[in-house]
Amino acid sequence: MLAPGPPRVLRPSQRCHHPGQNGGVANPEGGGLRSYIRLLHTSDLHLGRLERDDGHGTWPLEQMLQTAIGAHADAVLLCGDIFDHNRVQDKLLKEALALLGQLRVPTIILPGNHDCLCPGSVYERMEALGLPDHLHIIRPEKGLVTLPQLDLAIWGRAHDSYNDMRPLEDIPAPSKERWQVAMAHGHLVRGAWDLQRSYLIFPDQIAASSRTYVALGHWELPHQIEVGDVVAAYCGAPDRTGHVLLVELDHKVKIRPYPLPGH
């Protein structure tokens, strides 16, 4: 694991590649265009968790960025609780935004239960500072992000308060894009013992989503399920697992853990 420290500025040659145009994605490893897309899926970074960060709160994000670059991700999915709470200091917020600005691929943030999109939230403060064009925050009134260059649509339901909610309830039908992804931050119901939890996600909701992939957050350990034709996975918290998930969408969904620097 990298030692905590101030955010490192990445050189242009280290930044993520641009998606290709005209029906394919540019392959940074050579060989022209490729037909599949590659997503980096992570969650639960909990930036600003004081007992861990010791004044250097962006190091989990820096590790994620280096991994996105090394993995040649076409898009990055941040599935909730990127910040530990909505009261993080302005300094940390600005450093995090500067690091996110160094990515050159679409980056989608789903607010979770810790960093919910309530009035005065960390994401409202971030928007006031100015978001780069490639950074998208899922909002209640804008739950769908479409990325024509990847033929990809991403839907999510943001936590917009600290109240209980159902992340996949009444999910809309898929749009016209080839690749359909849902993002959800909550607790998967595996049996009756889970029903007392908050933010419940039911397996039949995953199946009914008709998505190519459902990216989940909230659990600190990874877990993968298939319900009908739909693949869903928790990536786990990277400071617990030492990795993120690399998800390739092709004729089938391929998921593999991708280690963080130093792991």
CATH number at residue 68: 3.60.21.10
Tell me the chain's radius of gyration from C-alpha atoms.
17
pLDDT at 91: 93
Cα–Cα distance for residue pair 34/24, rounded to 1 Å: 6
Q: Which two tokens stand for residue 35?
A: 């037909």
Domain for residue 65, yes or no?
yes
Tell me, rounded to whole angstroms, the distance of Cα 225 from its chain centroid: 18
The 10s digit of each residue's pLDDT in 169-180 is 999 999 999 999
Is 187 within the bounds of a domain?
A: yes
| Whole-angstrom distance, CA of residue 104 vs CA of residue 80 | 21
Among the residue ranges 30-34, 60-64, 259-263, the one predicted with the least confidence is: 30-34
The pair of structure tokens assigned to 88 is 């993080």
What was the pLDDT predicted at 28? 57
- Sole residue written with tokens 């639960």: 44
Considering the entire predicted model, what is its pTM?
A: 0.87
pLDDT one-digit tens code per residue, 154-167 = 999 999 999 999 99
Interhelix angle 59-70/90-101, nearest 10 degrees: 10
Q: Give, rounded to a whole angstrom, the gap between the first and last alpha carbons of the chain.
A: 6
**Residue 230 falls within a domain, yes or no?**
yes
The set of residues, in sequence order, having a beta carbon less than 8 Å from that of 195 and lying 6+ positions away, is 189
In a domain, 47, yes or no: yes
Which two structure tokens, joined as six digits, stand for 67? 């991994």
Cβ pair 122, 93 in contact under 8 A: yes
126 in any annotated domain? yes
What is the C-alpha separation between 116 and 58, in angstroms, rounded? 19
The per-residue pLDDT for range 85-120, each reduced to its tens digit, is 999 999 999 999 999 999 989 999 999 999 999 999
| Residue range 37-64: mean pLDDT, rounded | 84
Q: How far is CA 148 from the centre of its chain?
A: 19
Domain enclosing residue 56, as ranges: 32-259
Is 94 strand, coil or helix? helix
Helices (H), 71-202: 90-101, 122-129
Query: What is the percent of the chain where pLDDT is above 70?
Result: 84
Whether 22 maps to a domain, the answer reads no
Q: Is 153 inside a domain boundary?
A: yes
Q: What is the pLDDT of residue 4?
A: 35
In a domain, 1, yes or no: no
Identify which of 184, 180, 168, 185 has the alpha carbon closest to the alpha carbon of residue 211.
180
For residue 152, report the phi and psi dihedrals to the nearest 5 degrees.
Answer: -130, 135
Handedness of CA 145, 241, 103, 22 (dihedral sign): negative
User: How many structural domains does the chain have?
Assistant: 1
Q: Rounded distance, CA 33 to CA 30, Å? A: 8
